Amino acid sequence: MTPQVVAKIIAFVLYLGFMIYIGLRNANNNNNSADFFLGGRKVGPWVTALSAEASDSSAWLLMGLPGLCYLGGIKETFWTALGLIAGTYLAWLFIAKQLRKCSEAFGDSITIPEFLSNRFKDKTNILSVLSIIFIVLFFTIYTASGFVACAKLFNSVFGLDYHAGLAIGLVVILCYTITGGYTAVCTTDFAQGTLIFVAFVISSVIAIAVSGGPAAAIESVKAFDAQAIAGNFGEAMKNAFGANSTYKGMSIVSALAWGLGYFGMPHIIVRFMGIDSAANIKTARRVGITWMIVSYIGTFIIGTLGTTYLLNKGILLNGGEQIANYITGDAETVFSATMQQMYPAFIAGIFLCAILAASMSTADSQLLAASSAVSRDLFKGLIKKEASEKEVLNVGRFVVFFIALIALLLSLNPKSSIFGLVSYAWAGFGATFGPIILLSLFWRGTTRNGAIAGLISGGITVILWHNANAILTKLNVANPPAIFSVYEILPGFLICLIFTVVFSLLQKQKDPEMLAEFDKYKALKDDDC
C-alpha cells in the first residue's frame, strides 16, 4: 500500500468517523417522533438552507452532472441547472413560508402524508396510503443512486470492489441516520454542504489557473470538443458530443422541467416545515440559492475543464473504450479523477469526501422521509393508533434499515447510472406531489378527491412515460413517437395538475371544517409560527 493511498484512507476514515460521531451525539435528543423526524421545529436558517440544498443535490451534482458535461459538453447540463436554480428559488419564495405555517396550522403535521391528510380532512386515510406507496417507491430508487455513487467513488479512488464500496456506504449512512434522526441528518448535511461548496470553489479556481486563465481554458475545451466530434476519442464520445451539438427545442424544455421537481420533493420540502421560524425563511433562501449557484458553476468548470486537464495526464473518461495509450474510465468519475490529479493525496482525500458527502446527505434525508411516512402515517396512523413514541421510533429505525437494503439490491449493477436513477425518482416526486402541494397552499377549493386523483394520475404517468420506449420496443414498434423523449416530469406534472383541479371542481360540497382551517392558516403572521 502506497503512502498516497494511506493518506486518502486516513482522510476518509476521519470524515466517516465524524459523521458517525454526529449521529451518536444527537441520539439522546430524540425524545419523541417529532424530534426524530422533524427536529422539533427548532432548526436554524443556515442549517436548514444547506441541509435542503445538500439533500437536493446528491451525488449527481459531483458525479452525474460533471459526467454529463464531460461526455457531451455544457448544453444539457446548463439548461438542467438553469431549470433547477429557477425551481429552487420559486420553491423557497412561494412554498417554504406557506408550508411552514400550513403544516403547523393543520394539525401540527410533521410528514407530507400527515400534512395532506390533515389539510384535506381525509378520514378514509386513502391519501396517506397512496402517499406512502409513492414515497417508498421513488425514495428507494433515489437512495440507490447514492449507494451507486459511493461504490463508484471507492472504486475510482482505492480500486475497491464495487460491491464492497456499496457495503461501506450502507453501513455509515445507517449508523448516523438510525441513531441521530432529523437533527443529526441536518447537522451532517450542513457539514457536507460546506465541504461541497469549498471543494468546488477552490478546485474551479485551480482548474482555470492551470489552464492558463479563462480565455485559454475556453480554447482548450473547444479543441477537445472538436476532437471528440471528429471521432478521435471513440464512437461513444462522438455520439454524445454530436447529440449535444444539436440540443434544442423539446430537449431544452425537458431540461428546464427539472425545476418542477423541487415543488414536490418530500425530503426537501420537509426542511421548510422544520425551520425554527417562518420569519427566518428569507435568510435560508438567500443562503441556499447562493450555495446552489456557486456549486453549479463549479460543476460546469470541473466537468468541462476536466476533459483537457485529465487528457494532459493521459486519462480519457469515455466509458472504458480503449483509445491509443490513454487510461480510460467512467465519465461520472471526472470530479474524483480530477481531484486525485490536482492535489496531494491527503487534500485530495478530503475533497473526495465531498462526493461521499453529497451521496450521504441525500440518502440519509430520503431514508428518514420514507421512514417517517411508514412509521407515523402507516403504523401509528392506521395499524396501531395507540402505539407509544418508543414503538414509533423503533419502527422508524427498522424501516430505514429495510428501505436501505432494498435500495442496495437496486444498486448492485456496476453499470448503473447515477444520473438515470436520480432523474427517474426526481420526476416521480415532482409530478406526484408538486401540483398538490402548490394547490393545497394557495387554492382554497382543492379537495380530498382532487388530491387523490392527482396523486394517482401523476405517479402512474411518470412510471408509464419513463418506460414507454422499452414497452413499445417489446411490442415491436419500430419508431416510438418522439413525444416520449420528453422528460417524464413534464407530462406527469401537467396531468397531476389537471386531474387535481378537475376532480376538486367536481366535488361541489366542500368540507366546512377544512375551509375554516384554510382561512385560519391564511390569516397567520410570520411571528405566529
In a domain? residue 463: no
Is residue 27 exposed (0-12), middle (13-18) or buried (19+ Cβ within 10 Å)?
middle
Give the start-end residues of each E strand in 49-171.
Answer: none
In a domain? residue 236: yes
CATH number of the CATH domain containing 349: 1.20.1730.10
In a domain? residue 339: yes
H/E run at residue 316: strand 315-316
Residue 292 pLDDT more than 80? yes
Q: How confident is the model at residue 134 (pLDDT cuts 50, 70, 90)?
A: very high
In a domain? residue 401: yes
Backbone angles phi, psi at 367, to 5 degrees: -60, -40
In a domain? residue 451: no
Which string of DSSP letters, residue by residue, matches 361-389?
A: HHHHHHHHHHHHIIIIIIIIIII-TT--H
CA nearest 47: which of 266, 181, 176, 194?
Answer: 194
Side-chain-facing half-sphere of 311: CA atoms under 13 Å? 20
In a domain? residue 318: yes
In a domain? residue 506: no
Mean pLDDT of 460-486: 83
Report the range out of 252-266, 277-291, 388-402, 404-418 with the highest average pLDDT. 252-266
Give the model's pLDDT for residue 37: 46
Lowest mean pLDDT among 278-292, 313-327, 419-433: 313-327
Taking CB atoms within 8 Å and a gap of at least 24, the contacts of 158-163 are 158/5, 158/8, 158/9, 162/414, 163/412
Q: What percent of the chain has pLDDT over 90?
A: 17
More confident residue, 357 or 204: 204
Report the range out of 196-200, 242-246, 291-295, 447-451 with the highest average pLDDT. 447-451
217 vs 305: CA distance, rounded Å: 7
Summarize pLDDT for 39-70 with one digit per residue, the tens: 445 566 766 666 666 666 666 777 778 888 88
In a domain? residue 355: yes
Summarize pLDDT for 205-239 with one digit per residue, the tens: 888 998 889 999 889 988 888 888 888 888 878 88
All three cell numbers of 242, joined, read 454530436
Backbone angles phi, psi at 384, to 5 degrees: -140, 85
More confident residue, 344 or 524: 344
Whole-model pTM? 0.82
Q: What is the largest CA-CA distance in the chain?
A: 74
H/E run at residue 22: helix 3-25
Summarize pLDDT for 403-457 with one digit per residue, the tens: 888 888 888 888 787 778 888 999 999 999 999 999 999 999 999 999 999 999 9
- Domain extent, residue 11, equals 3-415
Mean pLDDT (the chain, rounded) = 82
Report the range out of 74-78, 149-153, 257-261, 346-350 with the highest average pLDDT. 257-261
Give the model's pLDDT for residue 44: 62
CA nearest 83: which of 265, 300, 256, 275?
Answer: 256
Give how many domains the chain has, as a whole number.
Answer: 1
Mean pLDDT of 197-202: 83
Q: Which segments of 312-445 does DSSP mark as H helices, in order?
A: 334-342, 345-372, 389-410, 418-442
